[in-house]
């Protein structure tokens, strides 16, 4: 499963246009100017400028960055659908990109 983050407004509505895989990714979409992802990770002073700009936008709009319900990936859905036989009996499964018994 992948975690999804998004923005919630004052009325409790989620704003999908600001969704991302991390709070940092969402924040980069919220602020009006571009902040470099690499510099945000390596430079504390750059990160502080970003966080200040982000907090100003969040306060002004009365928004919050929140974790949305995790979406299942195809892989995790497929894993839940596969049932393993009891008592060690082997089963033949065809893996994507691979081949079954020949």
Percentage of residues in the chain with pLDDT exceeding 70? 67
Alpha helix positions (H), the chain: 23-30, 37-42, 44-61, 74-81
* Residues sharing a CB contact under 8 Å with residue 4, sequence separation 6 or more, in sequence order: 19, 20, 21, 67, 68, 69, 70, 71
Closest CA to 7 of 43, 59, 44, 80: 59
Structure confidence at residue 73 (pLDDT):
59
For the chain, give the mean pLDDT: 80
* Alpha-carbon span 13 to 9, nearest angstrom: 5
Contacts of 24 (CB under 8 A, 6+ apart): 37, 40
Q: How does pLDDT run across 49-72, given as a tens digit for each residue?
A: 999 999 999 999 999 999 997 656
Q: Is the pLDDT of residue 15 over 80?
A: yes
């Amino acid at each position: 499963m992948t975690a999804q983050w998004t923005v919630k407004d004052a009325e409790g509505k989620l704003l999908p246009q600001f969704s991302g895989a991390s709070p940092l990714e969402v924040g980069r979409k919220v602020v009006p100017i571009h902040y470099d992802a690499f510099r945000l990770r390596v430079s504390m002073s750059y990160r502080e400028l970003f966080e200040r700009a982000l907090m100003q936008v969040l306060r002004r709009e009365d928004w919050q960055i929140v974790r949305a319900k995790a979406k299942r990936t195809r892989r995790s859905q497929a894993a839940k659908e596969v049932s393993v036989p009891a008592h060690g009996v082997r089963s033949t499964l065809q893996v994507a990109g691979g081949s079954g018994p020949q």
